[in-house]
Chains A and B, each alone.
Chain A
Amino acid sequence: MASEPFSLTGSGNRADTGFRWMAIGAASLVLLILGLIALTMTNRSLPVLSRMGLDFFTTRRWSAPDGLFGALPFIWGTLYTAVIAVALAVPVSLAVALFITQVAPPLLKRPLVYVIDLLAVVPSVVFGLWGVLVLSGRIQRVYDRVHEGVAAMPGFLIPVIVLAIGAGLLLTSRRSLVGWVLAVGGLLLLLYFLVSGRSIPPLVFGPAAQGRSFATAGVILAIMIVPIITSLAREVIETTPATDKEAALALGATRWEMIQASVFPHSKGGLVGAVMLGLGRAMGETIAAALVIGSSLGQVTLDMFASGNSMPAVIANEWGEAESLHKSALIALAVTLFLITIVVNLIASAVVRRSMARSAGRA
């Protein structure tokens, strides 16, 4: 037995063949189900798409009594809240992951990991209810302060500050992506102010009518995706070879310099993947978003303190009482969401592959 060469295709081993077909069957079943779902959903969304055409994606009137369905505000709301959530969650997640892997004493490490993983299994409705009952009532005052503060500043101040931070980061490292984004963004804001005399920041942080808004949804979604991003980031960071880290430390690097020089380059691809997974979850989240986003119609605005709506929230809210064409419009929303998440995931895997190839090439 032991001397026989191991062969995957050998017909002599019935268990192997059986396992092979079972694996192929399971794998193709997943694809088949996915394909069928896509097919029936697209099919059922045809009535509204043939009626609205591309207007479905580009107009903002959503009126069931008039038979008009423009999904732009919901597409915008989904993307905007997800971006806010990721912007809030990524720094926190990275910091926590670095703390756990590089800084925390071993005694603290296990309970910390446990608590964060626990956060990941809290049902989203719990976050949603906390958001609507506790957070949204209190956060409105914060929004008002921010708006008043931003509006009271001279129009050039914020662009200049942003520009200065960006420039500062670029001075320390010319390759800092954040530095480039802030510097270019600050410059553009400043130019816009000089040309038009208007300042963008008070528009982004508008007056808050109440506490349920894009920003609140972003905060709740951020809390929900922190554990996912953190635990993935932690696992990725832990794969950094000890020799890399020791080499950096041996050259006299501080802990932060070691992280910059060894940990980040090694785990960049995995970290991007973690962030993209978080983004995907934030876009698909239904109940929590539905409870705190405010459910306003027709909002395509940069004002993050305004109430809006997102695709999954609209589906959850309106499905129960929807009639034929309205139902078709909601299914079309689901198809759109499906497509957007696929695109995000494709981009994510492309980024991961590229940065992995790059780090492998450099190593």
Chain B
Amino acid sequence: MRTLNRMIPTTRILTATGALALALLPTACKSKDKPPEGAEKAAEGDRGGAPQAGGEKPASGAGGAVTLNGSGSTFQKGYQEASIEEFGKASSEVTINYGGGGSGKGRQDLADMVVDFAGSDSAYKEPDLAKNKGGPVLYFPILLGPITLSYNIDGVDKLQLSPQTIAGIFQRDIKKWNDKAIAGDNPGAKLPDAAIVVVHRSDGSGTTDNFTKYLDAAAKGTWKLKSGSTVEWPADTQAGNGNAGVAQIVTSTQGAIGYVDLSDAKASGLKYASVKNQAGKYVEPTAESAQAAGDGIEVKDDLLFSALDPKGDGSYPITYQSWVIVYAKQTDKARGEAVKSYLKYLLTDGQRLLPELDFAPLPKGLQDKAVAQLDKVQVAP
């Protein structure tokens, strides 16, 4: 009986952290909640109409409903979830599911036509494009967001870092908080003689990809670990699973520093550093400074771009972006129309949800281009 009693507090802690559990785990499974392709097509065939915006709830759920499935980037998941809820209020006939799993999984799922749209923080690689079963794809940028350098040292509430210093810290050239390089970035600050604990992602991640791409560009010559969704971190560093996992280790480890997206850093109550941008100014990561980063970017015709290391005084330099990727040719009329109207929502009305979620909306010019690109989505008659 004693054994049982002792088990109870453990159980309670576990229930309380249920949400964290989901964030900590790599969701390696395919989206199981998707009904079989054929059955759904047949159901739609009977009806053959576009979803009516603002319509009443379907009487039985037998006819009329369209289900869209998306997967991929966990970075944009917060925005997807908020949008799905708001969009659902307006168009009750369209049900949208967005499963995370990471950008790579999203792109793979779309390539295999398992999902209707993919969320991704980076584009398809050139050789992989040919493997996409549904033909050419279109990229729709939907948001920008900052990656913070979150840290945990008692007595230091304000920290400034230059890209070279960040590179030095993350490749373990700089091992103490009172190192000359850090002191040089923080004139007059009192830094403790404490060891630095570097925390990075253990899972392959778009955040790692963008963070290392940034260091590769902004700390050229200093940064030696190259860039990618996983890189060869030094052995004496710590790793956590997902943004929440990194945040959890930083929270519980004195002297720790890690890269975490802004919303997770805020949710965990972490302190984060201001980072020196191209103009030489130290800027704090906020939705506004990320939006400022978006103003200086160059966008290609296919709407691919990078918001990393931008120009401008007020830009936060480690700002990255996320796209929704869809096939240019939509073979199913009802689903195609639903995809288009949801994309339109994400690009226009939904944008006002972003600041509250600690993301930055698209700059006006980019937004206009993206909305114009909606016409390129061809829906079968």
Residues of A within 8 A of B (CB): 61-66, 68, 111, 115, 125-126, 129-130, 132-134, 137, 209-210, 212, 287, 290-291, 294-299, 307, 313, 316-323, 326
Contact = CB atoms under 8 A, between A and B. Distances in A.
B102 A320 contact: yes
Contact of B25 (A61, A63, A66, A125): A125
Contacts of A298: 232, 234-235
A267 B177 CA distance: 58
Given A320-B105, A321-B203, A321-B206, A291 B24 contact: yes
Contacts of B241: 290-291, 295, 317
B125 interface: yes
Contacts of A317: 26, 202-204, 241
A40 B24 CA distance: 30
Given A133-B13, A134-B13, A65 B3 contact: no
B226 A65 contact: yes
Given A321-B204, A321-B229, A209 B10 contact: no
Contacts of B52: none
Nearest to B121: A321
B274 interface: no
Interface string B192-232: 00000100001111100100000000000000011111111
Contacts of B197: 209-210
Contacts of A294: 238-239
Contacts of B103: 321
A254 to B, nearest CB: 28
A129 B24 contact: yes
A319 B27 CA distance: 10
B237 interface: yes
Contacts of B225: 65
Given A115-B3, A115-B4, A126-B14, A318 B230 contact: yes
By CB atoms of chain B within 10 A, which of A64, A111, A133, A294 has the most?
A133
B253 A299 contact: no
A322 B101 CA distance: 12
B202 A290 contact: yes
Contacts of B209: 321
9 contacts: A63-B226, A64-B231, A64-B232, A65-B225, A65-B231, A296-B238, A318-B203, A321-B229, A323-B229
Interface string B1-41: 10110000010011001001100111010000000000000
B64 interface: no
Given A212-B238, A296-B237, A321 B202 contact: no
Interface string B238-269: 11110000001100110000000000000000
Interface of B: 1, 3-4, 10, 13-14, 17, 20-21, 24-26, 28, 101-105, 125, 197, 202-206, 209, 225-241, 248-249, 252-253
B26 A319 contact: yes
A194 B48 CA distance: 86
B379 to A, nearest CB: 31
Nearest to B10: A130
Given A129-B21, A132-B248, 4 more contacts: A64-B229, A296-B237, A320-B104, A323-B104
Contact of A210 (B14, B204, B230, B253): B253
A66 B13 CA distance: 41
A270 to B, nearest CB: 26
Nearest to B1: A111
A298 B367 CA distance: 44
Contacts of A125: 21, 25
A297 B10 CA distance: 31
Contacts of A68: 232
A-B CB proximity, top 8 nearest = A321-B204, A295-B202, A295-B239, A63-B232, A321-B229, A65-B226, A321-B104, A320-B102
Given A210-B253, A297-B233, A321-B103, A133 B238 contact: no
Contacts of B233: 296-297
A315 B125 CA distance: 22
A321 B103 CA distance: 7
A297 B234 CA distance: 7
A130 B226 contact: no
A62 B230 CA distance: 10
Contacts of B226: 63, 65-66
A66 B231 CA distance: 9
Contacts of A290: 26, 202, 241
Identify whether the interface residues of B are mostly helix, strand, loop, or mixed: loop
B21 A307 contact: no
Nearest to A308: B235
B76 to A, nearest CB: 15
B22 to A, nearest CB: 10
B160 to A, nearest CB: 26
A132 B242 CA distance: 14
Nearest to B125: A323
A144 to B, nearest CB: 13
Nearest to A60: B235
A61 B230 CA distance: 13
A219 B260 CA distance: 29
Contacts of A63: 226, 231-232
A287 B248 CA distance: 17
B203 A297 contact: no
Contact of B230 (A137, A287, A321): A321
Contacts of A64: 228-232
By CB atoms of chain B within 10 A, which of A68, A129, A287 has the most?
A129
A61 B232 contact: yes
Contact of B235 (A130, A134, A297, A323): A297
B17 A129 contact: yes
A137 B153 CA distance: 17
A326 to B, nearest CB: 8
By CB atoms of chain B within 10 A, which of A64, A295, A318 has the most?
A295
Contacts of A323: 104, 125, 229
B204 A65 contact: no
A210 B238 contact: yes
B14 A129 contact: yes
Contacts of B13: 130, 133-134
A38 B209 CA distance: 32
A244 B204 CA distance: 58
A322 B197 CA distance: 26
Contacts of A61: 232
B236 A209 contact: yes
Given A209-B238, A212-B238, A318 B204 contact: yes
A343 to B, nearest CB: 26
A115 B203 CA distance: 35
Contacts of A295: 202, 238-241
By CB atoms of chain B within 10 A, which of A66, A126, A297 has the most?
A297
